[in-house]
Chain A
Amino acid sequence: MIDKTFPTVWQIFSFKYNTLKHWHALCFTWLGSGCFYWQPFEQVYPNAPPSIEFSSPDQGDVFRIDGIQGGVAWVSVVDIDEDDVMDYLWTINGLGPQGSAQTFVSGNYQGSSIQLPSDPLLDGRTLTCTVYDQAGASDRRSWAIEIGGGS
């Protein structure tokens, strides 16, 4: 049995809640925007940055280009944020952004590859791939370029 001579916890909470409700109503009516308003809680998902998982060449290795076909470098990227759109920027120091890269998707993976010619102009420079997600978070990988074999 509940002793009705003393208020229950719920009754106390309910009293305070009702008081607050009236206070809020007063605020909206008479005080306009100068009063607290508690919005419903909204779950916030922090952005997870993209991460380069695999690449060729490996991080720190030399990107050696020889032969008639030139060379291909590539990265594959994971980002746990669903439907995040990735942008890839391939640059060569001293030569700026490169326009011969393309994006690919394969099942749950996506990435980008670039084909470069066996051009002595590239020898000794650094190739960098930076991947950005929509929130601006990024990951990058760089390789020293070596043009070999009498190019």
Chain B
Amino acid sequence: MRGLIGMMLLAACSQKNATTEVPDGSLGGADLSPTVEQIRIDVYPSSSNGELLKQSWIADLSDGLTGFDIVLEPTIVISGKVVGYRANPLHSEVPGEDRSPVAATIRVERAGTITGGSVDTDADGDFRLEVPASRGYTVSVTPDDGLRLPFQVSVDNNLSSDLNLETVDLGYGLPVYGHIRTLDGDGLHPLTVRLRDQGSGVAGPATQTDSTGHYLLRAEPGSYTLEVAGLQGSAIPSFSIAATVSEDEGLQLDADIGELLPALVSGQLRGEDDNTALRDITVRLESRALRGTLGTLTIETDTDRDGLFGRQILAGEWMATFIPPYDSSFGGREKSFTVETGLAVLDIGDIELPKRIIFDGFLTDPDGAPLANAAVNAQELGLDGYIFSTTTDDEGGFSLETSPGPMTLTASPARNDLAVSRWTIDPTNSGQIFQVEQGDLMSGLVQGPDGPVQFALIEVRSMAGVLLATSLTDEAGNFAVSLGSL
């Protein structure tokens, strides 16, 4: 816990706990642990569940997969007023204007879960945020004005009932400043600069370098990462450097970004069948390794009516991804290329996009019997990860119009004794039979303060966020789904 808001939360929670119930140890399931095999159950209550908010339940796999008793916590209100001093940036030790309301964003989030929320203050600096009661919350207050106000973060907060923080004073913080320049000493402008708290991963407010490449931020003492990025679309790479702000002292942090020698890259997108120019194709250019320059660079643009695109990028190894709209009759593709140092113009020529194809197949159960009414989702590997969905007919058959590239095929049987199954497929190889295996049954009961939670969406995810299965609770709040090997 760190900063004024941390002390305020501690004081507020202690005061609450003196008169109200101590937070239940099961709020939100198990404690998040990087060393224990865990699974995340995200619950999205439906419109029939009143005021309950979305929230995650963490389960240890060692406790088994059946009989989960998931308790959705009631909604609580976090409120208060954010104030600050707007210290004069030229004299860090001299207070600026009197304490006044601050425009800021308040985030209350349980890291690695969907539990929590965020809200902006109003014109008077007041805020009111509704979140589920939970433990392990990270609470942050990020002012809009990063130049003159610090941000604050507090971790591991157990919030079990309404909490009025009254006045959240951001304080003065300490100055973090520096010069972002090229190898020749030229200041870079405009760049976006922000600090990210290393412990919690919370990002602070962004500010921009001035016309000479100088920046100024304010921060509480602590360990941060300084993140620097060019404006969207500009040929200036993004990079980050460690920044430690010590007690009672500001931090000067300059950065030499290297040599910036932009080169114009252009090309034209065409359809493979009739060679027509393709407009409105998203062209994403991502650096794999820049030469003579710090960091990474990603630039996106669209093709014009003639299928043409052109952007300035830097010397190095690149991957271009061409992404048609979701309802296009063409699939996407990738192309790697190199921009040599000193090259001013590079035409990567005509790029043909393949036509979408019909991919069909059959689902069967472990005995080879057709599997009707199963959900089938095919997701592109790479590109923009488009998902193409359908359900099987009464003969277990399905048909999808997809991109021709590699995909992940997921089958979710209606029968809960069969596993949600996955295959990596080549959709040009149509007519295959996919056999779904028996799975490990996962089941439980979802309850709220007023009883069973009916017809809520359940998403079972790995702790890395990968979706493993989707289900709905029934009239009695029960759910059951079978998982493949975890």
- Residues of A whose CB lies within 8 Å of any CB of B are 53-59, 61, 66-69, 72, 74, 76, 82-83, 85-88, 96-113, 148-150
Contact = CB atoms under 8 A, between A and B. Distances in A.
Contacts of B372: 83
Contact of A150 (B118, B391, B392): B118
Contacts of B373: 83, 105, 110
A96 B386 CA distance: 14
Interface string B397-421: 0000000000000101110100000
A56 B117 contact: no
What is the interface of chain B mostly: helix, strand, loop, or mixed?
strand
Contact of B377 (A55, A61, A96, A103): A103
Q: Which 4 A-B pairs have the closest CB atoms?
A: A149-B118, A150-B105, A58-B47, A99-B386
A149 B44 contact: no
A24 to B, nearest CB: 37
10 contacts: A54-B47, A55-B46, A72-B44, A86-B391, A99-B384, A100-B386, A103-B375, A103-B377, A105-B412, A106-B471
Given A67-B116, A105-B373, A56 B393 contact: no
Contacts of B394: 82-83
Contacts, number: 138
Indicate the member of A58, A72, A85, A108 with the most B CB atoms within 10 Å.
Answer: A85
Indicate the member of A74, A86, A110, A150 with the most B CB atoms within 10 Å.
Answer: A150
A149 B47 contact: no
B79 to A, nearest CB: 15
A102 B377 contact: yes
Interface in B372-394: 372-377, 379, 384-387, 389-394
Contacts of B481: 106
A104 B470 contact: yes
Nearest to A87: B390
Interface string B106-128: 11010001101111100000000
Contacts of A110: 373, 375, 391, 414
Contacts of B471: 104, 106
B105 A107 contact: no
Given A88-B389, A99-B387, A69 B114 contact: yes
B387 A148 contact: no
A46 B106 CA distance: 54
